[in-house]
Each structure stands twice: as structure tokens, then as C-alpha cells.
Amino acid sequence: MTKEVYLTAEGLEEIKKEYENLIQVKRPEVIIALKEARALGDLSENAEYDAARTEQAEVEARIKELEVMLENAVVITEVNTDVVSIGTKVKLSYVDDDEIEEYSIVGVNEADPFENKISNESPIAKAILGLKVGSTVSVESPNGSYDVKIMEISA
């Protein structure tokens, strides 16, 4: 059984764009590169051919991966801001150091820590999912536990 892939509408569009680019642009480029490398002769000592084959394998693997994501996508359309859930933005206060951070809770495939988009499977998201504003919870992480308080939930 394949696992559901949680995506925001924005995340679904990004995956569709990448998929279309791989099918319509990248795959044809790799096929041309393979033909050109094959034309160079002896395939046993042909670095260009080996590189093109490797790239072809990577492109095809990514296409398959994206197809599975698209087939199993669960798009988060309605976001309930009463509790923390996938698709919500949450403002957290770190209890021990008075630091405040804002995160978007997204599916695994959209997670991007540099944009404060955290996976619903991350330790912090697991700890706060389903909780309301004002809740304080202990987060278990590989570096030890710490407490956070939910200050705000928005769409």
C-alpha cells in the first residue's frame, strides 16, 4: 500500500511543473545526448555515453517518483485554524529562551527548513498537530527535549 502524499495546492503545482519539465524538456535532451554519445563509437570506453545513461536513469527515477506522488496526492484545501494541522501556519514561542518562530506545516515533499516549511512528520510538528492556541507541549528531538507554546494559528 502506497502512503498518501499530503500537499498544499501550491506544492501540487510545483510537482506538476517539475513533472512536465522532465517529460517535455529533460527526457528529450537526455535522449539526444545518448544518441550523440552512441555515435562517438566504442561504448565500452565512452565516458559521454556512461554519463548520459546515468542521467537518463536519474531522470526516469524522478519521473516515476513524481508519478507516485501525483497518484497518491491528498491536497489540503480547507484549513481549520482552530487546531494545528497540515496547511496551517503556526507561531511558536520557545519556552526556555523566549524565541518566537513561525512555521508552515506541510507534507514531507514540500518541507523546506530555509523557508520555515516543516514536515508534518518532523518532531516539532508531531508534537503540536491537533493542539490549540495557548497549548504548551514538550518536543522530543534528537538533541533532547524542549517546550514550545502555540501563540497563533493561521491559514
Q: What is the pLDDT of residue 121?
A: 93
Domain 5-76 has CATH 1.10.287.180: yes
Question: Which residues have C-beta within 8 Å of that of residue 60, sequence separation ≥ 6?
Answer: 27
If one looks up domain 89-154 in CATH, what number appears?
A: 3.10.50.30
90-143: pLDDT as tens digits: 999 999 888 999 999 999 999 999 999 999 999 999 999 999 999 999 999 888
Q: What is the value of pTM for the model shown? A: 0.77
**What are the residue ranges spanned by the domains of the chain?**
5-76, 89-154
Residue 54 pLDDT > 70: yes
